[in-house]
Structure 1
Amino acid sequence: MGTKRELKKWLKQYLLDRPAVTREVAPVHRWELDYPSDMRSAQFSESGRVVQGWVLLNTEHAEWQQKLTIVAAWEPAYELCHPLEIERADVIERVLGASDEDHLQRYCGFRFTVPPSLTRFTLWLACEDQRWLLQVVEINPPEALQAPETLKVLEGKAGWLFLNNDTNASVDQYRGRLRLTPRGLSGWQRYLSAFYALAEKQKAASAVLVAPSKESVMGPGYHPYAEGAGGPIQQLLALPEAQVLVYPVQALMALGDDAFIQTDTHWTQRGAMAASKVLAAALGLDERAVENTFVDDEYGELSLTGDLGSKLKPERTCRISSLHTFNYHQYRCFDNGLPNFGRLVVLANGKALMPGTCLIFGSSSSYSMFNYVSRLFKRVVFVHSAGNLDPEVVKAVQPEFLVAQTNARFVVQVPSASCSLQALIAEKKACLSEEEVMMVAKRRIGVETHNPVISSLGLSPWVVT
């Protein structure tokens, strides 16, 4: 939204997406935004740019105070919703000339953070299904660029680390203070409908697997904040289209501390096995046969830094249980080696439980599942796309099993049902650093264009890309 015309267009669409937005005069006696403000220096915390202020209602609406929230919006699919929960004695005394003791509106303040790089966001006052526009906040781009770097790790109890200040606002999601908008929810409805239509067209057993966040599983015991209600994952699970969505939170909770890695955002290998079992059941596999497939697995202890531990100085490590009686690497017949989006991996195991092909459009949580799904399906085709679907790949592979896998914290980014793997590969290759080029070359497993496995799966166009 770089121009006023674009801003007006966005606001108009926002109102159309929210038919409950009232056009009546706001019931506000007076309100003020302390930060950000042209009158004061910008304030930042470890979590981002501070947004702080207060709202006083007209006398006849004073009883609404406990139901009010301040909504900050800058993306069409989600928004922040924070209650008026801070006591502001200074406001009651200065503005109303009254004592704050037992005053009906003494908790009239709000304080939260938004990404420090934001240059524009909109503040609304909301009361249940009604809301009123308070202000479009604009920040000088130079000021936004000079914002201090924020810590990406949140220290929990007993040395457990959690993600903080990520682009998906994981902490606000966990606390129930970041929510999908009607546009975000309708986007998920369209995506789920398109996914199941695509699976039905291919006559494939199908499932959308959402990896629960570390916060949702380990949070009750170790997170510094309490879990809130009504966050994006709860909103998604409540949709009619999500009735067959696979969300293995109970299976992970049953593992206790073995579900997630203490210094990483991802589940452990035992957690990946638990998720694989739940997924297999959703795809119609015999549960006892699946259980027997992994019954002889043995694990040993290793030291791991993890994607969270590596962000601290000095780095933090933990001990993990690592599967040492099986490794899927022996079944890789192709791997383009690209980092994250655009990676294509093909696994082939003639001794697998099921004779068919499982096509997975997944995310980083899928990798630790390879040790298990490669023993369940004769062929596994993995596309790193975080659930974004390429219908052309589906048409070419013609899988017996179709899976879309994303992570709960990615729910605020509605996946597409019509992405292009070729475009993802080209885009990734175009921006590889020298270090990444070396990494890709090291882990790439190439094949001849007419490799029988690749040809039978119809993947030649993507293998030679």
Structure 2
Amino acid sequence: MRILEGPFGHLFLNNDTNDTAAQFRGDRLITPEDLAAWKHYFQDLRAHADEIGIGPVFMVAPAKEEIFPDLYPVGRAEVTPVDQLMAAAEDVSLLFPAPELKVDRGLAYHRTDTHWSDYGARIAAEVYLRHVGLAEHIKSLPVNFRFSEKAGDLGRNLTPPMTEPWMRAKLSPDSVFAFDNKISNHGKIWIFQNAPAPLAETLVLFGDSFGVNLSKSLSAVFQRVVYCHTAAMWDPFVIAQEKPRYVLLEMAQRFIVQPPLDRKLWDSIAQKVSALDETERRQVRQHMTETTAGGVYAERMLACLEAADAQV
């Protein structure tokens, strides 16, 4: 991974597979074919609105260079992929909280990482709550943070690694991390339960790595939050199990040059499980049998493990 260094120790992606710099300067845009695929994706979201009480909301997590354009060593074009996407999202709730994140940008993004911080995730959560008419619950979002020295995903690729004070939200002790299917990245499912949370509703979040701390922040408001790393793909199995009124789909800005791949959540999980060695599968199986909150997700994980064992 090559890294662009900006002023004041800010690090940015460079020469990545999504060609972030080319996107920002307008040299890589969403192709007409992919724009058509995006419109089809949004049409599907509108069709899904009848399955839940509140229409699904799509959020683009702003890239760091969008928040620090004055520190990024590449000039922004008048039209970039996110501008194309916002124009194509007809009749769909699309959120791009860049203006809100810029207000306290030094806290919202780490200098050595590509993602928003826990504080930035809180800001994005606030934007979402306002959008769906839940502004009265913003006061329940995390307000206390602690700091520890850490290198972000960019800083640890330098020699020596570049560290900085890392901002972590202090969640309520009532917010319980109830289930983790032990899959990394695409295919991850985890569940937060917070009985005293003010909203007796379930939120399902289909997202990517930006959705990790976003789901944590929203667990202070919703009594149940189910986060699935699907890169914004809708999963009917999860919807059928949860029957949520609130669904949030999230994708990082640098990924939007291509529409969400039609990668099924459980196909990804089965593939990840089959790649585990015997010891790893045994550890995951033990966790699934011991969990009390996994329910159908733990049962289906066990089925994937049995199928993987049969292939050995």
TM-score by length of 2: 0.88
Match of 1:265 among 114, 117, 122: 114
CA contact (8 A) 1:218 1:257 kept: no
Distance 1:278 1:447, change over 3 A: farther
Task: String of CA shifts for 1:287-316, please: whole Å, max 9, x gaps.
Answer: 1332x2137x22222211010011111111
CA contact (8 A) 1:358 1:377 kept: yes
Distance 1:152 1:375, change over 3 A: same
Task: String of CA shifts for 1:28-83, please: whole Å, max 9, x gaps.
Answer: xxxxxxxxxxxxxxxxxxxxxxxxxxxxxxxxxxxxxxxxxxxxxxxxxxxxxxxx
1:378 positional shift: 1.1
Give runs of aligned pairs for residues 300-319 of structure 1, distance below 5 A: 300-319=146-165
Distance 1:316 1:424, change over 3 A: same
CA contact (8 A) 1:258 1:270 kept: yes
In structure 2, what residue type is equivalent to 1:339?
S
Distance 1:388 1:429, change over 3 A: same
1:230 alignment partner, SS class: coil
Distance 1:339 1:243 in 2: 30
Distance 1:185 1:448, change over 3 A: same
CA contact (8 A) 1:397 1:459 kept: no
CA contact (8 A) 1:175 1:231 kept: yes
Whose radius of gyration is greater, 1 or 2? 1
Match of 1:289 among 137, 154, 157: 137
Match of 2:36 among 180, 186, 198: 186
The aligned counterpart of 1:213 is: 63
In structure 2, what residue type is equivalent to 1:288?
E
Give runs of aligned pairs for residues 201-240 of structure 1, distance below 5 A: 201-220=51-70, 222-240=71-89
In structure 2, what residue type is equivalent to 1:170?
T
Distance 1:165 1:399 in 2: 39
Distance 1:257 1:441, change over 3 A: farther
CA contact (8 A) 2:205 2:215 kept: no
The aligned counterpart of 2:145 is: 299
Distance 1:326 1:200, change over 3 A: same
The aligned counterpart of 1:75 is: none
Structure 2 gaps of 5+ residues are: 305-312
In structure 1, what residue type is equivalent to 2:211?
S
Q: Which has the higher contact order (CA 8 A, sep 6+)?
A: 2
Distance 1:445 1:376 in 2: 27
1:238 alignment partner, SS class: helix
Give runs of aligned pairs for residues 104-115 of structure 1, distance below 5 A: none
Report the identity percentage.
Answer: 30
Match of 2:288 among 427, 446, 463: 446
1:325 positional shift: 5.3
Distance 1:425 1:400 in 2: 25
CA contact (8 A) 1:334 1:447 kept: no
CA contact (8 A) 2:52 2:246 kept: no
User: Does 1:382 pair with 2:227?
Assistant: yes
The aligned counterpart of 2:308 is: none
The aligned counterpart of 2:307 is: none
User: Does 1:426 pair with 2:270?
Assistant: yes
Structure 1 gaps of 5+ residues are: 1-150
Match of 2:100 among 235, 239, 251: 251
Distance 1:428 1:152, change over 3 A: farther
Match of 2:10 among 150, 153, 160: 160
1:196 positional shift: 2.3
User: Does 1:401 pair with 2:246?
Assistant: yes
CA contact (8 A) 1:211 1:407 kept: yes
Distance 2:178 2:36 in 1: 39
Distance 1:276 1:365, change over 3 A: same
Distance 2:278 2:14 in 1: 29
Distance 2:145 2:267 in 1: 39
User: Does 1:335 pair with 2:180?
Assistant: yes
1:354 positional shift: 1.1
Larger proportion of strand: 1
Task: Identify which range, 300-309 or 423-432, moves more after superposition.
Answer: 423-432
In structure 2, what residue type is equivalent to 1:281?
R
1:396 positional shift: 2.8
CA contact (8 A) 1:218 1:260 kept: no
Larger proportion of helix: 2
1:454 positional shift: 4.6
CA contact (8 A) 1:199 1:402 kept: no
In structure 1, what residue type is equivalent to 2:188?
R
Distance 1:353 1:288 in 2: 10
